[in-house]
């Protein structure tokens, strides 16, 4: 049986920190499935829409060599359902979420990877706004 890795994120204004976490996640198994968070989920949780629409973000993430499949993450609370649906063996999250998904350890392995330092969508947006 191939080992399936699942991860989640907004991946807005796609940058090298996003690429690195997906590359490292892919190395943990044979197949990488990515839940890209819905525009509505971002509006609910962050109070604003992403710069790129979910359709654009899904297209970008889905085109990556290390990504085998993408789907829309409609709600943060549905992680267990997505893990079961996609038959994931490993859940990977950035360490900004460390400890937050430990209760899913009965469904699959849970791994938190360190974030790439000094790069974020927010910093990029602020940099461009200051030009
Ligand atoms: N990331 C990283 N290094 C950075 C920036 C981001 O490793 N410098 C990682 C994050 O840790 C995450 C992924 O890239 O694993 C996507 O980041 P975001 O788009 O910020 O995702 P987020 O809004 O945290 O996810 O269920 C989670 C939700 O979908 C929201």
Q: Tell me the CA–centroid distance for residue 2 and ligand 1, in Å.
A: 25
- As a whole number of angstroms, the distance between CA 19 and CA 91 comes to 17
33 DSSP β-pair partners = 6, 69
The pLDDT assigned to 62 comes to 98
Kindly list the distances between the CA atom of residue 19 and the CA atoms of 49, 77, 100, 117, in Å, as whole numbers in the listed order. Answer: 22, 25, 22, 13
Q: Does ligand 1 come within 6 angstroms of the Cβ of 17?
A: yes
Q: State the CATH number of the domain containing residue 20.
A: 3.40.50.620
The pLDDT assigned to 44 comes to 96
Query: Which residues of the chain fall short of a pLDDT of 70?
Result: none
The pLDDT assigned to 1 comes to 84
Domain that holds residue 103: 4-130
Total tally of structural domains belonging to the chain: 1
- Work out the widest C-alpha separation in the chain, in whole angstroms: 51
Closest atom, ligand 1, to C-alpha of 21: 7
Spatial contact of 82 and 104, defined as CB atoms under 8 Å apart: no
The tokens describing 30, both together, are: 């044979």
Closest atom, ligand 1, to C-alpha of 93: 15
The pLDDT assigned to 50 comes to 97
What are phi and psi for residue 16, nearest 5 degrees? -65, -25
Kindly list the distances between the CA atom of residue 99 and the CA atoms of 35, 64, 104, in Å, as whole numbers in the listed order. Answer: 19, 28, 10
- As a whole number of angstroms, the distance between CA 125 and CA 54 comes to 18
The pLDDT assigned to 89 comes to 98
128 DSSP β-pair partners = none
What are phi and psi for residue 120, nearest 5 degrees? -155, 155
Pocket of ligand 1, candidates 71, 83, 94: which has the most ligand atoms within 8 Å of its Cβ, to mutate?
A: 94
What is the pTM for the complete model shown?
0.96
């Amino acid at each position: 049986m191939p080992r399936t890795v699942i991860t989640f994120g907004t991946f807005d204004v796609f940058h090298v920190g996003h690429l690195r976490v997906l590359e490292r996640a892919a190395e943990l198994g044979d197949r990488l499935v990515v839940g890209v968070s819905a525009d509505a989920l971002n509006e609910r949780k962050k109070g604003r829409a992403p710069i790129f629409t979910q359709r654009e973000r899904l297209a970008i993430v889905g085109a990556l060599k290390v990504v085998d499949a993408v789907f829309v993450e409609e709600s943060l609370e549905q992680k267990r359902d997505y893990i079961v649906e996609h038959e994931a063996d490993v859940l990977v999250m950035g360490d900004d979420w460390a400890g937050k998904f430990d209760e899913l350890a009965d469904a699959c392995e849970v791994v938190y990877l360190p974030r790439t330092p000094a790069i974020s969508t927010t910093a990029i947006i602020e940099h461009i706004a200051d030009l």
